[in-house]
Amino acid sequence: MLKNKYVLDPWSIIEDKFDSTTVVDSESVFSLGNGKIGQRGNFEEDFSGNQSIGNYISGIYYKDKTKVGWWKKGYPDYFAKMVNCPNWNTIRIEINNKILDLNKCEVFSYRRELNMMEGWCERKVKFETPEKEKIKIVSKKFICLERENIGVIKYSITSLNKKIKIKILPSIDINIKNNDANWNQPFIETIGIETNDNYSKVNSKVINSDFQIATFFKTKYFINSNEVRTTYNKSNVKNLIGSSSEFDLNTNDELSLLKIGGYVNSNDTNFDEFENLIQKELKNSIDLGFENLLNENSKAWNKIWKDSDIVIDGDIMSQQGIRFNIFQLNQTFNGNDPKLNIGPKGFTGEKYGGVTYWDTEAYCIPFYLGTKKSIVAKNLLNQRYNQLPNAILNAEKIGLNHGAALYPMVTANGEECHNEWEITFEEIHRNAAIVQAIKKYLNFTDDFEFVNKKAIKILIAISRFWSQRVNYSNDLNKYVILGVTGPNEYENNVDNNWYTNYSAKWCLEYTIETLDKILKSEINTYNKVVIGTSLEKNEIKKWKKIIDNIYLPYSK
Amino acid sequence: MLKNKYVLDPWSIIEDKFDSTTVVDSESVFSLGNGKIGQRGNFEEDFSGNQSIGNYISGIYYKDKTKVGWWKKGYPDYFAKMVNCPNWNTIRIEINNKILDLNKCEVFSYRRELNMMEGWCERKVKFETPEKEKIKIVSKKFICLERENIGVIKYSITSLNKKIKIKILPSIDINIKNNDANWNQPFIETIGIETNDNYSKVNSKVINSDFQIATFFKTKYFINSNEVRTTYNKSNVKNLIGSSSEFDLNTNDELSLLKIGGYVNSNDTNFDEFENLIQKELKNSIDLGFENLLNENSKAWNKIWKDSDIVIDGDIMSQQGIRFNIFQLNQTFNGNDPKLNIGPKGFTGEKYGGVTYWDTEAYCIPFYLGTKKSIVAKNLLNQRYNQLPNAILNAEKIGLNHGAALYPMVTANGEECHNEWEITFEEIHRNAAIVQAIKKYLNFTDDFEFVNKKAIKILIAISRFWSQRVNYSNDLNKYVILGVTGPNEYENNVDNNWYTNYSAKWCLEYTIETLDKILKSEINTYNKVVIGTSLEKNEIKKWKKIIDNIYLPYSK
């Protein structure tokens, strides 16, 4: 994709042509985020072409009623989906009373750069309107790494060939819906609106849940870099919350808008405290100004790269690709908040609902172990520990018992969300990914306390799952695992998938090894584990029998 | 079910207690139909308890957009569902200005009989209203076997303890929706309404289709069996199309309403001709009167029983059960219209959409072969012949070619409707049911012309399916069929299901046997078949190889 559409560059993704038909694709590529809030690379001004506005807050989700043609036993009630929030990025521009819409203009120069080294995105466009005004727009923005609730936009507009009258309406667009809604219903409702000159705020509530969010912004105007005063007229556009201002611009005068905005949410803050927190965030940032905030953010990204860059000499495409991956992992999740997890698509869109998959343990924890403090991986594993009761309920749905656990395929809070029998209840190797992540974490940290108190309980519950899920085949004189979907996630009802069978064996081995280690070092801890989990000698005996006798098919 | 809820009787289903919580169940059991139109056993008057109004026309369906959680390759666009039509049975009763609702009355005597010998249903209820009027209602109805578009109701009401004022509104209720709608949307829209004293008509159109229907009725009133004139006031209830009349009734006077109504539809009749046909139907029936129509219908049922009754002495429950089955088969389908097929639930409700399953060939054709003229089975097989091109398209969806055919799991017009991979594309033994039905038909009729011209093409297409669907296993040195759902319809992705493998072998054998028979008797016909189907010698060779070498697993 990058090969054809974007310019090769070791540190940036660069789009140097305007193509109104691929705006939606580029919106995903030019996404920005700080691990807590994030957004697609939408244009700030109106655009009548195909686009997909998206702003998301990690951990804020809607329980979307499950959609399924043929209901099967054990299907969950809902699929948790990250909420598409009111859009604080919106800036409606009117030039001589006509709404600016790039889709209706002739663009003669276009360049968008996602600078991954410094974490900002800049778009420079020159175009001619249907009324023959030649205009230049420059929009530069970033989401603050060190101010987790806000992002910053500097939006500049210059007329290149004549005097123009500009009306500008920086606003929050509340006419936003999730594209991935099962039933085309809204996920949030507006419960309060406030506009006060250059400040606006929208309070929203996630429907059928306790989640509340506030979307907010504040602005300043500059002409040719000098701050200017203006008058504010409350928006009369129903879905755009904000105030408009009007300016007469001479040829080559540059009007700039500084817009700082973002979200606070009830995962962190009581609803009553929203307003205080917002004012604090704005006070601490607006006076610093754009350049200082940009520098602060560049430094934060610099620090990330120091710990996580991978240099590939001699292959610029691979260099650009690996840095894009590292950049996205850091935009998606930063490990600061022990409540959050890693959405499969980050903030680039709604596919997969933005909630937790086994990718967290299989692919992501190794990266964060290598590039962040170990507390980050520990927090992620702690979430699985806290969700163990739900994983046990999940295994009970397929008839297992005595504390056997099947971790969910997809989850926001520990409850299974995926409703497809051959994945939900057959793609069971995901259980082994949790064990692998525990082993990696332990190898990295020697955090025996975590293992002794928490991880061992996960290991035992998962071993119980495997030991109950196998069958004994008299024909083969072996333990077999029937009816699974292997890691290709495609072939269903497979008997004795090698990877799955081997994973089962490996999990049992690692659990026994870990129990032995605990026994040898701390007999009291071992006894506590045995009592706390009602672990029986016969269980371990059966695990060993399975280890020695599991069927691992091979082609002659 | 019959055991506990209904009185044992060799010829009738009798309900002798009123239970407002099981009305929906009894509505299914007391359904009436004539193979073309049919209805659930709904009360005519208002009922505020749990009920499910249902009136259906065979062959009139809505293409309901497929609902599925996870889309898979080959899923169809829609599921065809029989349309729940406007309800011509409705009779709103007001006693002293209060709407009669059995759910709000004290019922002290109740008897409902479905008389299968004569094909009618009668309900006798005595009850006290909240206003202490003691009332008797008798409703007797049937759907005419020999007048395929109409049904007849005689609805009588008597006050047992005081003078009452009665307002009666025989009407068509247009506020009807399918319960099985995937998206809770209406399936039909009203396009015309007409009310003229004792005659009313509603024209409707099935949404996104060419199907049109008209619902209609005409009435007469009697007091103590003497016809009375009345004045008609056009209904002011939005969803009830008709005219109301008012009567003052003395104690023990019986007011009776004769209501003849039903449906005409665009499968049979051009929309322009609807009104003519309705007037003809009404003219031919209304003057005959209730008793004559009832007698005519009893005789028609008598004829059916003469050809199809099964007598079971000494076991009244089995006797009642087998007659209920025979009654339902005859209510559901009569074979008069070569365009119609056999809905799996008849007119008892909406489950399974009222469209065609492999049950037609596997279970129903043998019954109709034994009890009707052979043209009935031939018409049903002709439908499959006409739908062969769609069955070939269906097989192409799973990569087969050269005219291999997979008949749909569920269909209205030959297009597959079922959207569940493990059924749609795995429950493939249904193909063999078609072949079995052809064989049974031929054994019964010696209709070689049908076989030579049509059935042989089906046989070849199905044999091509099996011969391409098998794989050769080098381990077993046998042909195997992998990944099927057997006739238990429950276990999916089964390898070498005995029934499926045997069916494949059997179909291939029967096709070769039939080809041999044609070859021996009419060499020209044989050559025509070979050319018409591009049948190659190698194909038959491969079929024989499969017959000799298919794996038929058995337990030692």
Kindly indicate the confidence band of residue A1, based on its pLDDT and cuts at 50, 70 and 90.
very low
Q: What is the pLDDT of residue A237?
A: 97
Helix (H, G, I), strand (E, B) or coil at B307: helix
The percent of residues above 70 in pLDDT, for chain B, comes to 99
From A67, A483, A493, residue closest to B69, measured CB to CB = A67
Contact of B482 with B501, CB cutoff 8 Å = no
Interface test with A, best of B71, B493, B555 (most A CBs within 10 A): B493
Q: Which amino acid is at B370?
A: G
| Six-digit token string for B360 | 């037609």
Pairing of strands B61-65, B55-57: unpaired
Contact of B286 with B220, CB cutoff 8 Å = yes
Kindly indicate the confidence band of residue A5, based on its pLDDT and cuts at 50, 70 and 90.
confident
DSSP string, A101-143: -GGGSEEEEEEEEEETTTTEEEEEEEEE-TT--EEEEEEEEEE
H or E segment and range at residue A317: helix A316-332
Helix (H, G, I), strand (E, B) or coil at A386: helix
Tell me how close the Cα of B462 comes to any Cα of chain A, in angstroms.
Answer: 26
Helix (H, G, I), strand (E, B) or coil at A13: strand
Contact of A483 with A524, CB cutoff 8 Å = no
Among chain B residues, the shortest Cα distance to A76 is held by B69
Contact of A478 with A405, CB cutoff 8 Å = no
Tell me how close the Cα of A324 comes to any Cα of chain B, in angstroms.
Answer: 30
Q: How many other C-beta atoms lie within 10 A of the C-beta of residue B446?
A: 11
pLDDT digits (tens, 9 = 90+) for B380-424: 999 999 999 999 999 999 999 999 999 999 999 999 999 999 999
Fill in the DSSP letter of residue B441.
Answer: H
Task: Give chain B's length.
Answer: 556
From B69, B70, B493, residue closest to A493, measured CB to CB = B493
Which of chain A's residues have a Cβ under 8 Å away from the Cβ of B68? Answer: 67-69
CATH architecture of A316-549: Alpha/alpha barrel (1.50)
Residue A3 has pLDDT above 60, yes or no: no
Distance of alpha carbon A174 from alpha carbon A278, whole angstroms: 18
Among chain A residues, the shortest Cα distance to B492 is held by A493
B70-74 long-range contacts (CB < 8 A, ≥24 apart) are B70/A419, B70/A420, B72/B421, B73/B397, B74/B397, B74/B398, B74/B421, B74/B424, B74/B425
The percent of residues above 90 in pLDDT, for chain B, comes to 97
Which of chain B's residues have a Cβ under 8 Å away from the Cβ of A67? Answer: 67-69
A24-29 long-range contacts (CB < 8 A, ≥24 apart) are A24/A50, A24/A51, A24/A52, A25/A1, A26/A112, A27/A51, A27/A52, A27/A54, A28/A348, A28/A349, A29/A1, A29/A114, A29/A348
- Averaged pLDDT score across all residues of chain B: 96
Residue B473 contacts by C-beta under 8 Å, 6 or more apart in sequence? Answer: B479, B480, B551
Which of chain B's residues have a Cβ under 8 Å away from the Cβ of A68? Answer: 67-69
Return the beta strands (E) in B331-451 as ranges.
none
Cβ contact (<8 Å) for B419 and A69? yes
| Six-digit token string for A449 | 């306390």
CATH number for the domain whose boundaries are B16-67+75-278+291-301: 2.70.98.40
Q: How many other C-beta atoms lie within 10 A of the C-beta of residue B94?
A: 18
Find residue A244's DSSP bridge partners.
A233
Which of chain A's residues have a Cβ under 8 Å away from the Cβ of B492? Answer: 492-493
> To which residue do tokens 């039509």 refer?
B85
CATH number for the domain whose boundaries are B317-549: 1.50.10.10
Among chain A residues, the shortest Cα distance to B78 is held by A69
Distance of alpha carbon B463 from alpha carbon B395, whole angstroms: 12
Q: What is the ipTM of this complex?
A: 0.76
pLDDT digits (tens, 9 = 90+) for A452-473: 999 999 999 999 999 999 999 9
DSSP string, A192-235: EEEEETTEEEEEEEETTSS-EEEEEEEEEEEETTEEE----EE-
Q: What is the pLDDT of residue B2?
A: 47
> How distant, in Å, are the alpha carbons of B25, B31, B42, B206 from that of B324?
15, 11, 19, 32
Residue of A500, A494, A390, A489 lying closest to A76 (CA atoms) = A390
Residue B337 has pLDDT above 60, yes or no: yes
Cβ contact (<8 Å) for B69 and A492? no
Residue of B92, B147, B100 lying closest to B128 (CA atoms) = B100
From A67, A70, A493, residue closest to B420, measured CB to CB = A70
Distance of alpha carbon A141 from alpha carbon A89, whole angstroms: 10
Tell me how close the Cα of A469 comes to any Cα of chain B, in angstroms.
Answer: 18
- Averaged pLDDT score across all residues of chain A: 96
Average pLDDT value for residue range A233-259? 98
Interface test with B, best of A66, A68, A409 (most B CBs within 10 A): A68
Kindly indicate the confidence band of residue A357, based on its pLDDT and cuts at 50, 70 and 90.
very high
Among chain B residues, the shortest Cα distance to A181 is held by B69
Measured in degrees and rounded to the nearest 5, phi and psi for residue B479 equal -80, 135
| Six-digit token string for B536 | 């190659």
Annotated catalytic residue within A189, A489, A491, A536: A489
User: Cα angle vertex B46, ends B44, B50, to 5°?
Assistant: 100
Residue B3 has pLDDT above 90, yes or no: no
Which of chain A's residues have a Cβ under 8 Å away from the Cβ of B419? Answer: 69-70
From B68, B69, B493, residue closest to A492, measured CB to CB = B493
Distance of alpha carbon A135 from alpha carbon A249, whole angstroms: 11
pLDDT digits (tens, 9 = 90+) for B245-272: 999 999 999 999 999 999 999 999 999 9
Which of chain B's residues have a Cβ under 8 Å away from the Cβ of A69? Answer: 66-69, 419-420
Residue of A421, A414, A413 lying closest to A397 (CA atoms) = A421
Return the beta strands (E) in B364-520 as ranges.
471-473, 478-480
Kindly indicate the confidence band of residue A485, based on its pLDDT and cuts at 50, 70 and 90.
very high
| Six-digit token string for A369 | 């172990």
A32-274: which CATH number, 2.130.10.10, 2.70.98.40, 2.60.40.1120, 1.20.970.10?
2.70.98.40
Average pLDDT value for residue range A18-42? 97
Where are chain B's structural domains? Answer: 16-67+75-278+291-301, 317-549
From B66, B67, B69, residue closest to A420, measured CB to CB = B69
B227 assigned to active site: no
Q: What is the pLDDT of residue B1?
A: 46
Average pLDDT value for residue range A403-426? 96
Residue A139 has pLDDT above 80, yes or no: yes
Give burial (CB, 10 Å; 0-12/13-18/19+) of A477. Answer: exposed
pLDDT digits (tens, 9 = 90+) for A289-340: 999 999 999 999 999 999 999 999 999 999 999 999 999 999 999 999 999 9
